Structure formats: structure tokens, C-alpha cells
Amino acid sequence: MREISFKDLYSEVRKRKMEALDKKEIVQAVEKHGKILAIEGQYEKPKKVIQHMYASEKKFIKRKHITKELKKIDLNHYDVVLIGCPGKEIPKFAYSKIKDYVLNGGWLITTDWALHYIVENIFPGYIRWNRKRTGDVVIRCQIRQPDHPFLEGVLGEIQQSKWASKKSKSDEFRWWLETKSFPIELLSVNDVNVLINSNELKKKWGNGPVLVYFDFGKKGGRIIHLISHVHLQKGGKKGKYTSALILTNILDEKISQKMGLKQPSKRTQPQTTSPQIPLEEQWITPDPQKEYVTPSNITGNEGIGLTTTSQIIELSPNDLGSALTNKCAYCGYGFEKSTEKIYQCKECGALYHENCINQQVNQGTCKKCDRILLW
């Protein structure tokens, strides 16, 4: 798959949430009510990604304007505030303002060196920099709490063939550590939640947490911290996609709580004596016993009104003969002169060029049968 831009990446995240992850109501609420403020750091350029998030208001403060803007801005206007690495540009007069923002129920995201310059100074006693510095490397990570709202859909999404790697486990992806990233040491183990961890990071630099959060105050305030940066330039497609899901999930969850919206209900798993398959794995790789509704086992009128799914399959060399006489459902051109792989919607038989199927997946459903396309 070609290198994907941040614009296309966040567009795909939105479409997947609207269609496949059953979060249309929440996404629309964030688009109408969600407000995020991003403060630039010397090494963190959050505008690169935040500008492509779905939200009603996205404000950015450049480094040279931080002092001036923080003197007049009302942080309580925003649902989420992101302070980019290193955070030492934040003037000390603003520390009490940031603390009050969280005490009033605001959510603060910090990255990398802001652990030392912001979190340790304003919210001491929870997490700290362990005083070691990483190399410029990409590390393997493991998801610790796949059912947490911040990680909703991540495990199932990264198991799709377009993101998955043959060299890594299904719940594993790679996260970029820039030169001298700050490992996260837990000071209050009972109060800090570790959502993503890296055994490789722990082995090399003493502590493994990659993404953590803790609550602060009595009004739902929260501090969310991640090692490295939100743009993850060297983290690979899976790392970038995971980062985009997490950032949007954080704002989703904040608005869901604020607006009293319910998260999508979990599907009831069939009773069985064998180990149950995690929800996200069922969504990507359905149980062969078919104890659920799919396009292939709906009969009569009972499928009316249901949004159904279809698997994307790659045609084998033996099947290419008949395909060459048809046209791509997305672009309308034939396959005779194409050197790309050919893919097919399993349920309706619609054919796609390799690049075209990627574009169609971004739109969420098959061009011909309107079923949700799953890898």
C-alpha cells in the first residue's frame, strides 16, 4: 500500500468509525461539540495531525505565541488540551491555570519530554521520567487494555491485512521513539493506568509504558501521556493508524461523557465450551459457526434494515481469466493492461484494482452492494 497522508489517514479513521465501528452518533457529536487546543513544542508539531481530526473547533498555538496566548485564553472552553514535547516553553505562570483546567474536568494530553517539564511539575507523584534517554528507534508494543475506550477498535483494526505485519503478533505494532525520548516510570501504580506497554522498551531502558493516564481531582479531570510524538513519522502505517485512532478515541470519550452518550454496545458472543474469540477478532475474522448475522446467513425478510458486511478477497492466478473481461467497480476501467493485484467483494463479486480497493475501503462500503468492506 502506498504511503498514506495524514489527511487520508484521519479520513479513513472517521469512515471506519462511522461505518464499521458503529460510532456514527459519537462522531457526529464530536463534529458538532468537540473542542481541542494544541500547543506546539520544539519537537512536537501537533497541527500536522490535529488539523485533520473531526471536531467542531481546533485551535493551535505556535511556540512564539505561547506566553501571549496563555495569558488571555480560557482553557475551560476546550474539552481536550494537548501540550507538545518538550513543554518547557510553557511559562510558569500558566502552571496553576493548567492545574485548574484539569481540576475543573478538563483532559490534558502530554507527549515525551513534557513528562518532565509539565507533568512532574504540575501533577507530581503519579509518573516521572526515569532519567534515561532512548535511542532513535522503532519499538514493538503490546496493547494492555484492548477494551478501554481510548483503544476502542484498535486491536481489530490493526489485524486487518492492510495494516498487519507478518513479522509481528496480531496485538503488536511499532512505535517510534525519537532520539532521547523519556521512558515513563510509574510512581503511583494503583492510580496510573497503562494502556500500551513495550517489553522491548523496558528491556533496553528500564520502563515499558508507552501510553498511560491518571485521573485528577473530583470533576473527571484526566492527564494522558504518551512517549514520543503524536505524528509518529517513523512508526510505520500501523503505528500511525493506531495513533490516529487513539487521539480521536480520546476526544470521542470526552464528548461521550460530556453529552451522556452511550458507547456502542458489545455484541453478545455465542455460548461455547471453547475459548471465546475477542470481539475485535470476530469482527475481522468471523466465527465459522455463523452464530451471528452476516450477509450469507440472512434469509427472508429478517435482514431488512441491517448494515451487513463482506470480506475482501484477492483473486488467485486461476481466477484471473474471467476477471480480465470485466471492469473495476471503482474506476470503471478494465484489468487487461493492469499489473496490480485484483481484489473482489466476496458477497457480490465486484472487482477492484489494488489501488481502487484501498480508495473504496476509505469510503467504507462496496461500490456495488453497499456492504461494509472488511479485510
Report d(CA 94, CA 67) in Å as an integer.
8
Q: What is the mean pLDDT of residues 305-329?
A: 72
Mean pLDDT over the full length of the chain: 80
Domain ranges of the chain: 6-259, 292-374
What is the tens place of the pLDDT at every residue in 108-136? 999 999 999 999 999 999 999 999 999 98
Grid cell listed for 65: 505565541
Backbone phi, then psi, for 138, in 5-degree steps? -115, 120
What lies within 8 Å, CB to CB, of 271 at 6+ separation is none
Report d(CA 170, CA 159) in Å as an integer.
6
pLDDT of residue 370: 80
Q: What is the mean pLDDT of residues 299-312?
A: 53
What is the tens place of the pLDDT at every residue in 333-351? 777 766 778 888 888 888 8
pLDDT of residue 8: 85
Report d(CA 169, CA 202) in Å as an integer.
18
Give yes or no for residue 234 having a pLDDT over 80: no
- Report how far Cα 12 is from the mean position of its chain's Cα atoms: 11
Banded pLDDT at 25 (limits 50, 70, 90): very high
Q: What is the mean pLDDT of residues 43-65?
A: 90
pLDDT of residue 287: 38
| CATH number belonging to domain 292-374 | 3.30.40
pLDDT of residue 178: 79
Report d(CA 63, CA 234) in Å as an integer.
24
With b meaning 16 or more CB within 10 Å and e meaning fewer, what string describes 131-158? eeebeebbbbbebbebebebbbbbbbbb
pLDDT of residue 306: 42
pLDDT of residue 285: 39
What is the tens place of the pLDDT at every residue in 254-299? 999 998 886 654 433 333 333 343 433 333 333 333 333 333 333 3
Report d(CA 54, CA 12) in Å as an integer.
11
Specify the residue for cell string 511559562.
Answer: 91
pTM of this structure: 0.68
Q: What is the mean pLDDT of residues 201-214?
A: 95
Report d(CA 197, CA 325) in Å as an integer.
50
Higher pLDDT, 1 or 47: 47
Backbone phi, then psi, for 374, in 5-degree steps? -125, 135
| CATH number belonging to domain 6-259 | 3.40.50.880
Give yes or no for residue 13 having a pLDDT over 70: yes
